[in-house]
Amino acid sequence: MKTFFLIIFFFASNNFLQSNNLPLQQTPDAFIDSVIILGNNKTKSFVILREMKLKPGSVLTDEAIDYDKKRIYSLQLFNSVEIFKVETTQPKYNLLVVVTERWFLYPIPIFGIKDRDWKKIYYGAGIVDINFRGRNEKIFAIGTLGYEPSLQLSYRNPQIDYWEDVFVNTSFGYYENENKSLSAQNDAANFFQYHTSASISIGKRFQTSHTAWIHFGYEVVKLSDYQPGRLLNAWGKDAFPIFSTGYNYDTRDLNDYTLFGSYINFHVSKFGLFEKNIDYWKYSFDYRRFIPLIPDVVLAFRSFGTFSSGEELPSYKHVYFGYSERIRGHYKNIYEGENVLGSSAELRIVLLQPQYFNLDFMPMPEFSVWKFGIAAALFGDAGNVWYRKQPLAIADFKKGYGAGLHFMLSYHFVFRAEYALNELRKGEFIFDISAAF
C-alpha cells in the first residue's frame, strides 16, 4: 500500500516540473487560416473562441483540435461539439466548429443527493438561464426542499469587459444545514443551522488558463437549538463579514471527467472584522494533474488541504471527511477537525470513448443529443483531519484503494460503481453520480 502511494507521488511530482503546455507536435506545413463557427444560434461566437487555443496563424494538430473541442464542451452550453479542418490553399486550413446548443432558459425540476449520500435527497424547482444574452451569463433562482432546504439567487457574468476579461459573481442565499459536528451535538438531539448570506466576487482572467479574484461577503448564522459553545457569540447569533482572495490555473480538457491537463487553486479567507469573538483565517489549496501515459490510459492525481489560524473556529466551519470529501474504503465514516489534508490517485482506462447519439423522436432538438462513454479505474485515497492543538501524524492517515467502472453521461454526469478496501482490508461498494475529482 505504501509503495503504491510512493509511485503515484513520484509520477505526479515529476510531471509537475514539466511544462503544462499542450502536447503539440510542430507540423509547419499546417496552419489555421480562419475559424468558422456553426450551430450557435444564440451563443455569441466570442464565447466559443475564448476557450480555444487555436487561432488564425496557429500550428494545426489533431491533438490541439481534440483539446479545444473538450474545452468548448466544458462550457456546459452544448450537447455536442465537433471541429473539422477544411483545406483551403496549402499549407492553410479553415477550422469549422459545429455545435448543438442546449436549452438555456427553462423552469427546471431539481433532484439530487448531498454529501455523496443517497439518504440525503433534496428536490425543488427553479428558473435558470445558463446563457443569458448568449454571452454565457448565468442567472439562477432556485428553491429546494427535502434534505437541507435552501433558496438561492445568483448572477454570473464571465466577461463584463471584453478587452480586460473581467468577470463578476453576485449571490444571495438562505439554507438550512443539519449540524455535522459531533462535538457540537454533545450527546444531545441534533439541531439545524440557518445561514443567510450575500456576496460579490470580482476577478480577471488572464489568457485561457489563469484567473485571480477578490470576494466580499456577509453571513448570519442562527440555530434551531442554541446552547453555549455552538456559536462564537453568547447571544445566539453569529454575524460576520468575509474577505477572500484567490487564484486558479486550469488547463483541463474536460471538467467533468478529465483526461489531460492541470488544475491549481489556492485562496485565503478572513472571517470577522473588528470583533474579538469572530476573528479567524482559512487557507486552502487544491492541486490536480492528469497525465496521459499511453492512448486511453491516464494517471490522475489530486492533493488538497484546508488549514485555519487565528481565534476560535466555530463548529459550523469545521472540515470533514465523510461528507463532500470522502476516502474510499472509509466512505461512510465521518472524521472531524479544523484542518484537512488529503490525496487521491486514479489510473483511468478509457474502454469506450464518449459517443454521441441523436434521438430524433425527442420533441425539442436541444434534448435530442445524448452522450455515453465507459472507463475503468484503479484508485487509492489517503487523508487526515485534525485540530490545531493536535500534531499532524502520518500514522493517523486513513487509506483506501480499489477499482471500479465510470460511465460518462450527458449533461456532465458521471456515474461511478466502485469497490474499495481500507488498510484493514474491509471492503465496501460505492455508487456515486460525479467523478471523485
166-178 and 150-161 strand pairing: antiparallel
How far, in Å, CA of 257 to CA of 240, rounded? 37
> What's residue 281's pLDDT?
97
Q: Compute the average pLDDT of residues 36-49.
A: 93
Q: Between these two residues, 192 and 3, which has the higher pLDDT value?
A: 192
> What's residue 163's pLDDT?
77
> What's residue 107's pLDDT?
74
Cell of 25: 507536435
Judged by average pLDDT, the poorest of 50-64, 181-195, 244-258 is: 181-195
Judged by average pLDDT, the poorest of 18-32, 57-71, 92-106 is: 18-32
User: How do residues 395-431 score in pLDDT, each as one tens digit?
Assistant: 899 999 999 999 999 888 899 999 999 999 999 999 9
> What's residue 359's pLDDT?
78
> What's residue 296's pLDDT?
96
Q: Compute the average pLDDT of residues 48-68.
A: 92
Is pTM beyond 0.85? Reply is no
> What's residue 169's pLDDT?
96
How far, in Å, CA of 228 to CA of 82, rounded? 59
> What's residue 367's pLDDT?
67
Residue 427: how many CB atoms within 10 A of its CB?
Answer: 12
Residue 187 confidence (pLDDT) above 90: no
Q: Compute the average pLDDT of residues 95-116.
A: 84
**234-262: string of b/e by CB count within 10 Å (b at 16+)?**
eeeebebbbebebbbbbbbbbbbbbbbbb
> What's residue 188's pLDDT?
77
How far, in Å, CA of 22 to CA of 40, rounded? 26
Whether the CB-CB separation of 266 and 245 falls below 8 Å is answered with: no
> What's residue 11's pLDDT?
38
> What's residue 366's pLDDT?
59
Report, at the CATH architecture level, how domain 2-100 is classified: Roll (3.10)
> What's residue 363's pLDDT?
65
> What's residue 414's pLDDT?
96
- Domain 179-432: assigned CATH number: 2.40.160.50
How far, in Å, CA of 252 to CA of 261, rounded? 4
User: How do residues 334-361 score in pLDDT, each as one tens digit?
Assistant: 999 999 999 999 999 999 999 988 877 7
For the chain, the domains span 2-100, 179-432
